[in-house]
């Protein structure tokens, strides 16, 4: 049995984590969940969105599945997602973007992975006001974190037999910060002669991804560019409802969907659970439960062939429930 921390989260979080619980039950996955609250529920209960019990549970179990947690814009608490990544030193954010058959027929062959630096850049949250009408933000890039993410990206390429790593930057403008990022990635790339290496400026990368996403394999980027490009890439395969992710550290991993808490559709029973289910496939792989991971991945691919049961974000008339039931019915094929 693997003990795994489960954080249902805010908005659609409880609805989609419930789907994972039921699907894992049907899969007979050897996992026991340790449920803890973070986000809005935790504020009510403990006065903080990220209580110590949550961090303790993840540190003890080393693996967690996390629903989305709301970050209020402009004021209030610092993002739980960002704090968690920082406190547990989850330095790599891994976001595979893979087409599902028949979902977006403009792009049927996308199979890329965005590897986003997860601890610094503008996410340090260092901001100050000079006066009432001027504010500044400090963007931090270090050689240590950049080399670490570069090494992770190239090791990932090697391990998964991926052919090319593309580094994304804006070093023509941010000469010191992105310059250091780029130089660090270049240094590390020399140790992997079998992996092709290229560099793209982030604006051009955005266009290239929209025009020719099939050309990309592993993409490594600083934190903010990674955030933006992964939503863009999610759009190419049919939306945020399909895009999984993982936050990886040396000893701890937290799996979560790329999307947020989607308050606009919370409680309506129409949230797409696939992004979190695909994150759970990654979790199973991380736990070396490869057969179960394959089974679930296959069931998702088969289920989406039935257009009637798809959730509205995939232009279907179905619900979270109908999609879940279809996926469960495909587990035994
Ligand atoms: P955050 O700041 O937490 O990243 P966000 O403002 O980027 O949040 P999301 O919660 O990611 O917003 O949602 C963006 C849009 O995508 C919303 O319209 C939402 O309804 C939709 N969406 C996100 N996730 C899903 C999902 N699993 N199923 C269906 N629609 C979704
Ligand atoms: Mg977002």
The average pLDDT across 41-47 equals 89
What pLDDT score does 332 carry? 83
Nearest CA to ligand 1 atom 1: 260
Regarding beta strands 164-169 and 218-221, do their DSSP bridges make them parallel or antiparallel, or are they unpaired?
A: parallel
Options 25, 203, 290, 307, the catalytic residue: 203
Options 178, 217, 227, 313, the catalytic residue: 227
Task: Report yes or no for ipTM above 0.90.
Answer: yes
Q: Which of 120, 112, 93 is nearest to 247 (CA)?
A: 93
The average pLDDT across 229-233 equals 95
Do 89 and 40 belong to one domain?
yes
With a pLDDT cut of 70, the percent of the chain lying above it is 98
What pLDDT score does 75 carry? 58
Would the CB of 96 count as within 6 Å of ligand 1? Answer: no
Q: What is the pLDDT of residues 289-299, one digit of tens each?
A: 999 999 999 99
Would the CB of 264 count as within 6 Å of ligand 1? Answer: yes
What pLDDT score does 123 carry? 92
What pLDDT score does 104 carry? 78
Q: What is the pLDDT of residues 7-20, one digit of tens each?
A: 999 999 999 999 99
Dist CA 181 CA 193 (whole Å): 20
Return the CATH number at 283: 3.40.718.10
pLDDT surpasses 70 at 161: yes
The residue out of 236, 266, 293 marking a domain boundary is 236
- Is residue 231 one of the residues assigned to a domain? yes
The residue out of 187, 218, 236 marking a domain boundary is 236
Q: How far is CA 6 from the centre of its chain?
A: 16
The average pLDDT across 36-47 equals 91
**Cα separation of the two ends of the chain:** 25
What pLDDT score does 227 carry? 95
Q: What is the pLDDT of residues 256-288, one digit of tens each?
A: 999 999 999 999 999 999 999 999 999 999 999
Do 115 and 221 belong to one domain?
yes
- Is residue 325 one of the residues assigned to a domain? yes
127 Cβ contact list (under 8 Å, min separation 6): 135, 136, 137, 138
Q: What is the pLDDT of residues 186-211, one digit of tens each?
A: 999 999 999 999 999 999 999 999 99
Closest atom of ligand 1 to CA, residue 259: 11
The secondary structure element, H or E, covering residue 141 is: none
What pLDDT score does 105 carry? 73
Do 181 and 221 belong to one domain?
yes
Q: Does residue 264 carry a catalytic annotation?
A: no
The average pLDDT across 156-169 equals 97
Q: Which of 308, 286, 316, 284 is nearest to 297 (CA)?
A: 284
Per-chain mean pLDDT for the chain:
95
Tell me how long the chain is: 333
Domain interval for residue 2: 1-95+242-333
Do 320 and 275 belong to one domain?
yes
Nearest CA to ligand 1 atom 13: 262
């Amino acid at each position: 049995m693997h003990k795994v921390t489960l954080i249902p989260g805010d908005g659609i979080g409880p609805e989609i984590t419930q789907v994972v619980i039921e699907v894992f039950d049907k899969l007979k996955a050897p996992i026991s969940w340790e449920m803890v609250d973070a986000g809005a529920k935790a504020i009510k209960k403990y006065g903080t969105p990220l209580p110590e019990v949550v961090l303790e549970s993840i540190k003890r179990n080393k693996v967690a599945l996390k629903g989305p947690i709301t970050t209020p814009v402009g004021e209030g608490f610092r993002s739980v997602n960002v704090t968690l990544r920082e406190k547990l030193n989850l330095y790599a954010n891994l976001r595979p973007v893979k087409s599902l058959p028949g979902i977006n027929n403009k792009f049927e062959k996308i199979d890329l992975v965005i590897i986003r630096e997860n601890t610094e850049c503008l996410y340090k949250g260092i901001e100050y006001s000079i006066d009432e009408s001027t504010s500044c933000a400090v963007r931090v890039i270090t050689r240590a974190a950049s080399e670490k993410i570069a090494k992770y990206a190239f090791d990932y390429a090697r391990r998964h037999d991926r052919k090319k790593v593309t580094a994304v930057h804006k070093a023509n403008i941010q000469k010191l910060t992105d310059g250091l990022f780029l130089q660090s990635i270049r240094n590390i790339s020399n140790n992997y002669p079998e992996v092709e290496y290229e560099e793209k400026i982030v604006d051009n990368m955005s266009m290239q991804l929209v025009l020719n996403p099939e050309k990309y394999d592993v993409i490594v980027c600083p934190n903010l560019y990674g955030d933006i490009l992964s939503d863009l890439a999610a759009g190419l395969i049919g939306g945020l409802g399909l895009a999984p992710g993982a936050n990886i550290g040396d000893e701890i991993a937290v799996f979560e969907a790329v999307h947020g808490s989607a308050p606009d559709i919370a409680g309506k029973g129409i949230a797409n659970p696939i992004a979190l289910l695909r994150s759970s496939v990654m979790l199973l792989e991380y736990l070396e439960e490869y057969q179960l991971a394959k089974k679930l991945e296959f069931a998702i691919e088969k289920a989406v062939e039935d257009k009637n049961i798809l959730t509205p974000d995939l232009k279907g008339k179905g619900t979270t429930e109908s999609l879940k039931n279809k996926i469960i019915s495909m587990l035994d094929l």
